[in-house]
Amino acid sequence: MTATSPKQPTEVDHQIGLRLRKWRLAQDVEARVLAQKLGVTYQQLQKYEKGQTRISASRLYEIAQTLGVPIQWFFREETPQDSI
């Protein structure tokens, strides 16, 4: 396993971002509306969803609380029912 910079997004960060985007689309929530609810800019939300910016543990906790999903939801394995 190779070491990565703590500031560089990883595959896990990318997958968490995809799940965030998947939730938003499934709930039919506009990105700007969700960004406002999360207290971040639209651009920052886009970076999270694309996995370009890492989401800190405390921010992920806040996101899970705002979305009303358990934090584990961001880490569980995909199932056929998850497809949109």
For the stretch 16-52, pLDDT in tens is: 999 999 999 999 999 999 999 999 999 999 999 999 9
Whole-number pLDDT of residue 45:
96
Structure tokens at 66: 């705002």
- The structure tokens listed for 76 are 């569980």
**Proportion of the chain above pLDDT 90, given as a percent:** 73
pTM for the whole thing?
0.79
Closest CA to 15 of 77, 81, 84, 64: 77
> What residue spans of 1-84 are helical by DSSP H?
11-26, 31-38, 42-50, 57-67
What domains does the chain contain, in order, with CATH numbers?
11-74 (1.10.260.40)
CA atoms within 13 A on the CB side of 50: 9
Of residues 84 and 12, more confidently modeled:
12
Q: Which SS3 state, helix, strand or coil, does residue 54 take?
A: coil
